[in-house]
Amino acid sequence: MKGTIQNREKFLNQISARLGHNDISNSIPQRSWKYHPQDEVLTDTSPDQLVEVLKTQCLKIHTSLLSANLDNLAATLDKIVTDYGGGPVVTWKDQRFSEWGLDRLMKDAWPKENIEVHEWDYTQGAENIRYAEKANIGITISEITLAESGTVVLLSDKDKGRTVSFLPACFIALIPKSSIVPRITQAARIIRQKHLDGHRVASCINFITGPSNSADIELDLVVGVHGPVKATYIIIDDI
Amino acid sequence: MTMKIGTGDFKERVDQGIHDSFMRGAVAGAQERMGTRRNDAAEELGNWEDWRSHGEEIRQHVLEHLDYYLQQLSENIASRGGHVFFAQTGEEANQYIQDVVKRKNAKKVVKAKSMVTEEIALNDCLKQAGCEVIETDLGEYILQVDDHDPPSHIVVPALHKNKEQIRDVFAERLGYQKTSKPEELAGHARLKLREEFLSADIGITGCNFAVAETGSFSLVTNEGNADLVTALPKTQITVMGMERLVPTFEELEVLVSLLTRSAVGQKLTSYITVLTGPREEFDVDGPEEFHLVIVDNGRSQILGGEFQSILQCIRCAACINTCPVYRHVGGHSYGSIYSGPIGAVLSPLLGGYEDYKELPYASTLCGACTDVCPVKIPLHQLLHKHRQNIVENTGQAPISEKLAMKAFGLGAASPSLYKLGSKIAPAAMNPFTQGDKIKKGPGPLKAWTEIRDFPAPNKERFRDWYKNRDKGGNQ
Ligand code: SF4
């Protein structure tokens, strides 16, 4: 359904007049930039070097970073969940958990150990949010990972609720090694290209860099304000 | 609250500022730390000057084609099911928002920090409509709990308060019983605000940058409050100053990078959220209804004129964090929610010379602000232009330069402040120098030079000054 637009003509006419434009042009303005500083940052860096950059950055953003391969991923994840004090756990509904061999852990082992797991299920509507609010841990998957800033990029959809990454006290992001790019520049280009190729932009794109924090009181850093208090990334060697 | 804050006249406000010793210490400390962080973040990139030039060219391009991009933005938002309202004035914006609130029969609004909603005094209007309004940014929340104490900094609004004061306010108003440790105070706010997020009818945010090509807009925070404001309530209203947009995601990332480094010295903040339209058909969280209110409120009058470049501003506060006058007098002295150099240029443009004629004199014209501005706004030159206009319009300066300097506590008592400023003074001062002394300076320097000669500005760069400042320059 198309939304409404009100008061536009008068508003834009005034702007056009101030700018000395006769009317609003029909063609997209040419963007020809003289400067391209973003192309000089961390380009020509190998995937392994990018992992190193990411590791160093994680030290600065109060985030633990672990590496795993498909053989020990389940054990690694299990350990963090235990360290964080167990469930309840809320996760996206995502085929990849299963492809990475996590079904046994998430659907079998945890429930047996009384770690409650809720997988996002849009047919249950707002019930999902109540689970997320109660949850100790939220588990998501990074679509694009930014080495320079230590950022995971999450794209919302019906199976990937936004609140999985905000409401629980602890945040775990699984990072396929193949998703790591130098910086936000590459992510912006990927997202834009998808749009130009005719895909819908996700209603919510989250660039998340570590746990939530604030320096609003005497500029003292407090980790854990409205969002998660703790964060862990697990890089999965998929290349 | 409108753009205007505080009572009393300019001189009284400044007097109060100068005599609030905690505030002055806090401001000095904040400038120190934020300035250093910003410098490190900028230097780390190696090609910061190119980044600034790129930021500048993007912002200039957007302003030159603002009509096109606003048209494109609104089309794309509408095609994703969002509603767009163009508001010529603050009243129009408030009226529209009030109508939405009434239609939704809303009782509770949660807000993420937004300067433009302060500028148009949206909160007052929401309260008139019978709504409870809760600010969710920690700093804003503290001010709100304390009877709406005005903000003193555009990034760290409660900078002027110490943790003991905050504890006392929480104890009195929220029944808080723990210590003044920031973690405990923040933990209490987290608890209180969770309930509010979950029970609010409407979420209201500002907008760091909208993206015309996709009809998206971005929110930049560290706390994650904006995410809860936009994920939980059923209706979302976003208010943006009409100039706050970029053509595509590619420019968005450049400006976000400049913003986070300049504002807090971080490569990126913890949460950068880009939203497009309301929730999709089967999404569970996110708003069912989305409204974007695009506000002019005096901005179009700046467009096409000699102050156009101030619309390049990305509200990073780097100029504030570097200004020796702000350091001395604090945010409240400016009598506007926009303080520091950006405030001294913008407030008279949006609020008129009548109310803000003294602000352009609240500067040593040292140019430190211009040097740090990530989008290369020639701030000190714009301040100088204001002064010329004020003199031309009224035939005289509203406040003698001598008085301005005195009012700002920059009388003979603090020559070292002048010295700091002068070290980085712009080339514009050269005509006044004789040898290595200034004989008759422009602007406020005249007040100084009436008393004595000062060493002429040398060409030392701001960065060097900043680094050396600890060695006795702490005034
Ligand atoms: S004028 Fe420049 S430095 Fe000051 S807040 Fe705006 S963008 Fe930042």
pLDDT band at B43 (very low <50, low <70, confident <90, very high): confident
3-state secondary structure at position B88: coil
pLDDT at A28 over 90: no
- Chain B interface includes A16 (CB < 8 A): yes
Residues 290-329 of chain B whose Cβ lies under 8 A from any Cβ of chain A? 290, 294, 296, 300-301, 303-305
Residue type, B411: G
Backbone angles phi, psi at A155, to 5 degrees: -115, 125
C-beta atoms of A38 and B57 within 8 A: no
Ligand 1 pocket, residue B319 CB under 6 Å: yes
- pLDDT higher than threshold 90 for residue A155: yes
Q: What CA–CA distance (Å, rounded) separates B287 from B289? A: 5
Average pLDDT over residues B279-288: 91
Q: Model confidence over B432-467: pLDDT tens digits?
A: 333 333 333 333 333 333 322 333 333 333 334 334
| Structural domains of chain B ordered from first start | 50-300 (3.40.50.10420), 399-471 (no CATH)
Q: What is the mean pLDDT of residues A181-201?
A: 97
Whether B34 lines ligand 1, by a CB cut-off of 6 Å, is no
pLDDT in tens, A98-149: 999 999 999 999 999 999 999 999 999 999 999 999 999 999 999 999 999 9
Asked if residue A211 belongs to a domain, the reply is yes
**Residue from B34, B56, B259, B319 whose mutation best tests the ligand 1 pocket (most atoms within 8 A of CB):** B319
Is residue B229 predicted with pLDDT exceeding 50? yes
Least CB-CB distance to A38: which of B87, B254, B276?
B254
**Averaged pLDDT for residues B251-278:** 94
Domain membership flag for residue A30: no
Q: CATH number for the domain including A144?
A: 3.40.50.10420
Share of chain A above pLDDT 90, in %: 85
Q: Are strands A230-236 and A63-68 parallel, antiparallel or unpaired?
A: parallel
Q: Which atom of ligand 1 is nearest to the CA of B315?
A: 5
CB of B51 within 8 Å of any CB in chain A? yes
Per-residue confidence (pLDDT) for residue A203, from 0 to 100: 96
- Determine the distance in angstroms separating the CA of A94 from the nearest CA of chain B, rounded to an integer: 15
All residues of chain A having their beta carbon less than 8 Å from the beta carbon of residue B159 are 219
Greater confidence (A93 vs B328) lies with A93
User: How many distinct helices (H) and strands (E) make up chain B?
Assistant: 23, 13
Whole-prediction pTM: 0.88
Contact A29 B61 (CB under 8 A): yes
Q: What is the structure's pLDDT at B459?
A: 33
Give the model's pLDDT for residue B358: 84
**Does B240 touch chain A if contact means CB atoms closer than 8 Å?**
no
Ligand 1 atom with the shortest distance to the CA of B379: 1
**Is B200 near ligand 1, meaning CB less than 6 Å away?**
no
d(CA A105, CA A107): 6
- Which tens digits make up the pLDDT trace of B147-161? 888 777 777 888 888
User: In sequence order, what DSSP letters do the residues of B114-146 get, joined into one string?
Assistant: -HHHHHTTHHHHHHHTT-EEEE-SHHHHHHHHT
Domains in chain A, number: 1
Query: Residue B217 is which amino acid?
Result: F
* Number of Cα atoms under 13 Å in the Cβ half of residue B85: 20
pLDDT at B399: 62
- Judged by a CB distance cut-off of 8 A, whether residue B11 touches chain A is no
pLDDT band at B162 (very low <50, low <70, confident <90, very high): confident
- Reported as a single tens digit per residue, the pLDDT across B363-418 is 888 899 999 999 999 999 999 999 999 888 877 666 665 666 555 555 433 434 44
Select from B418, B417, B430 the least CA-distant residue to B459: B430
From B50-64, B250-264, B348-362, the region with the lowest mean pLDDT: B348-362
- The CB of B377 under 6 Å from ligand 1? The reply is yes
Above pLDDT 70, what percent of chain B? 81
In a domain, A32, yes or no: no
So what's the pLDDT on residue B201?
A: 96
Interchain CB distance below 8 Å, A3 and B78: yes
Pocket test for ligand 1, best of B261, B311, B314, B320 (most atoms within 8 A of CB): B314
When mean pLDDT is compared over A227-231, B165-169, B215-219, the highest value belongs to: B215-219
- Backbone dihedral angles phi then psi of residue B310, each to the nearest 5 degrees: -70, -20
pLDDT at B127 over 50: yes
Residues spanned by the domain of A229: 45-236
Q: Which pLDDT value is given to residue A99?
A: 95
